[in-house]
A and B are shown apart, each in its own frame.
Chain A
Amino acid sequence: MVEDTDLLADRIWRRHNPREQLIRYGVMLVTLTLVVWAVRDIDIFWPWVWDAPNQISSLGSRMWPPDPSRLGEIVSAMIETVHIATLATLLTILIALPVSYIAAQNTTPNRACLWLGRLILVSSRSVNTIIWALLFVAIFGPGVLAGILAIMFRSVGFIGKLMGEAIEEIDRRPVEAMEATGASKAKVIAYAVVPQVMPAFFAIVILRWDINIRESTVLGLVGAGGIGVILQGSIDTFAWQTVATILIAIIVLVLIGEAITGLLRRRAL
């Protein structure tokens, strides 16, 4: 570049060339503008912000020490939480597999099915679990069914999308070989597609189960069962020491879940 030779002659060193510099300033300016706008416009009462550390530490001190008196109740709610996550994950598989099959370009029967599959996946993924829960609580009333359905409706998109991608990435050659034997479409899938996506399937389901355990801890906050119900109740009654116990229990549950998924993943692969 011309400028570079000039710079070399003049013994000037700059980190970025003018074009890069311009882009950098542009990005910084946009970011700065956005931040200034956000800070000035947002509906926050600023004295509260300066008081927030005090409030948070005072809440923290009210939680200490954790109160284990309702531990039995908490543990059974935890088990309920795990049940919701597990059952919902299992049921999701039944729906997600056919959806991923029609949403994968190389297995879909026709274009209408392809777009139907994609529509299902996108709408499932765009609505958060807790919003699904809100909807199902309104329909089926508070309880575990709403929770299971909420987790299912969110997981279908997740498992379906990843499985669809796994199906699209398979090696075409065994498929060709199976077609050459005169096998029907169902048999080609059973022999050439299913074995190839098996490892991805286990990995995806295990991953989602882990996520679902975390998600199902909050379902109760909108009344859809699990530990969240007790958590909400304790917060409403200002039983902060019980809240602390529940929080510790959640950490333990999540860590156990992570350990189990880690173990399964190593076994499966």
Chain B
Amino acid sequence: MLEISNLVKRYGQDEPVLKGLDLAVDGNSVVAIVGASGAGKSTMLRCINRLVEPTSGSIRLNGTELVNLRHRDLRRARRKIGMVFQGFNLIDRLTVMENVLAGRLGYVSLFQAVSRRYPQEDIERAFVLMERVGIAHYANKRADELSGGERQRVGVVRALMQEPEVLLADEPTASLDPRTSEQIMVLLQSLASELSLPVLINIHNVAQARSYTDRIVGLRHGTMIFDGAPADFDKEALDAIYGGIESPEDEAIPPQAGPGKRESEVRHDST
């Protein structure tokens, strides 16, 4: 159970990026957070695990208040929050297995971490998860030898190694080709139900948000302007979220992702 209430983030004296967000995510639901670039999606996600410091507000994970944690307590809280990144953020020069085991860094001692002597059950868990996503045969390959989709699978497994109570995914598919990004979305969706894990996904691709999530939250200029089931996410909501906003990033993402290409999205919906 993740409860965000009245979350505000402002940088310096600028206009706040987040203006008092409220959001509660329950059980194993997959929540898509949509919005144009600069709407505050990424900031919101990073406030949850405190990679970005919230200015004010409250974030509670299963009853624990996260906003005022410091040092050791913050690190303990972070291990319960898995994160998947747009750029995968793998350590390129380490092997896949080392990258996956890095998800346990919050649990093992420094000596275990540096000497790579992880407990047997961690290694067992790593193999199980890697098999689940189909990358176990790459265990001793260097992370930079893998393809984009495989790298994101490593990222997902690394996050799951933390035994998280919530999974955050920041544009997990934006750096992938359309086909691979669908696979990753399917994977996130099924992992959520298998592990009964709430998943928050920042996503640009509205079509994917509608097909693979249980709930859509729309942000605009740091304010939540839509919260509802994918079925209720209609053209009106879409215009409210993206309308009149120039978004240069849209060109970098797969064709059906752009808000301007609504036809393809409808076509996808009908299949």
> A interface vs B, CB < 8 Å?
173-174, 176-184, 186-188, 190-192, 195-196, 198-199
In the bound assembly, the distance between CA atoms of A211 and B51 in angstroms comes to: 43
Taking CB atoms, residues of chain A closer than 8 Å to B75 are 182-184
Given the contacts A182-B162, A191-B94, A173 and B89 also touching, CB distance less than 8 Å: yes
Taking CB atoms, residues of chain A closer than 8 Å to B153 are none
Encoded as 1 (CB less than 8 Å from any A CB) or 0, chain B from 104 to 128 comes to 1110001001100000000000000
Q: Are B91 and A192 in contact (CB under 8 A)?
A: yes
Q: Are A182 and B113 in contact (CB under 8 A)?
A: no
Cβ 8 A contact of A173, one of B77, B85, B93, B162: B85
Q: Are A190 and B158 in contact (CB under 8 A)?
A: no
Given the contacts A176-B51, A187-B110, A187-B113, A181 and B93 also touching, CB distance less than 8 Å: no
Nearest CB of A to B175, in Å: 11
Number of A-B contacts (CB under 8 A): 79
Interface bracket on B: 20 to 34
Interface check B54, CB cutoff 8 A: no
Q: Is the interface of A mostly helix, strand, loop or mixed?
A: helix
Nearest CB of B to A109, in Å: 14
24 pairs from A and B in contact (CB 8 Å cutoff): A173-B85, A174-B89, A174-B90, A178-B102, A178-B105, A180-B51, A180-B78, A181-B78, A181-B79, A181-B106, A181-B162, A182-B74, A182-B75, A182-B106, A183-B106, A183-B113, A187-B113, A191-B102, A191-B113, A192-B91, A195-B93, A195-B94, A196-B91, A198-B93
Which residues of B, 84-106, contact A by the 8 Å Cβ criterion?
85, 87, 89-94, 98, 102-106
Which residues of B, 54-91, contact A by the 8 Å Cβ criterion?
74-83, 85, 87, 89-91
Taking CB atoms, residues of chain A closer than 8 Å to B83 are 177, 180
Nearest CB of A to B174, in Å: 14
Q: Are A181 and B105 in contact (CB under 8 A)?
A: yes
Q: Are B89 and A177 in contact (CB under 8 A)?
A: yes
In the bound assembly, the distance between CA atoms of A234 and B106 in angstroms comes to: 64
> B interface vs A, CB < 8 Å?
49, 51, 74-83, 85, 87, 89-94, 98, 102-106, 110, 113-114, 155, 158, 162
Nearest CB of A to B163, in Å: 11
Given the contacts A176-B85, A186-B110, A190-B114, A181 and B91 also touching, CB distance less than 8 Å: no
Q: Are B90 and A182 in contact (CB under 8 A)?
A: no
Most chain A beta-carbon contacts within 10 A, residue among B79, B92, B93: B93
Taking CB atoms, residues of chain A closer than 8 Å to B94 are 191, 195
Q: Are B77 and A190 in contact (CB under 8 A)?
A: no
**6 closest Cβ pairs, A-B complex:** A182-B106, A182-B78, A182-B79, A183-B105, A177-B89, A173-B89
Q: Are B91 and A195 in contact (CB under 8 A)?
A: yes
Q: Tell me the nearest residue of chain A to B168, going by C-beta.
A: A180
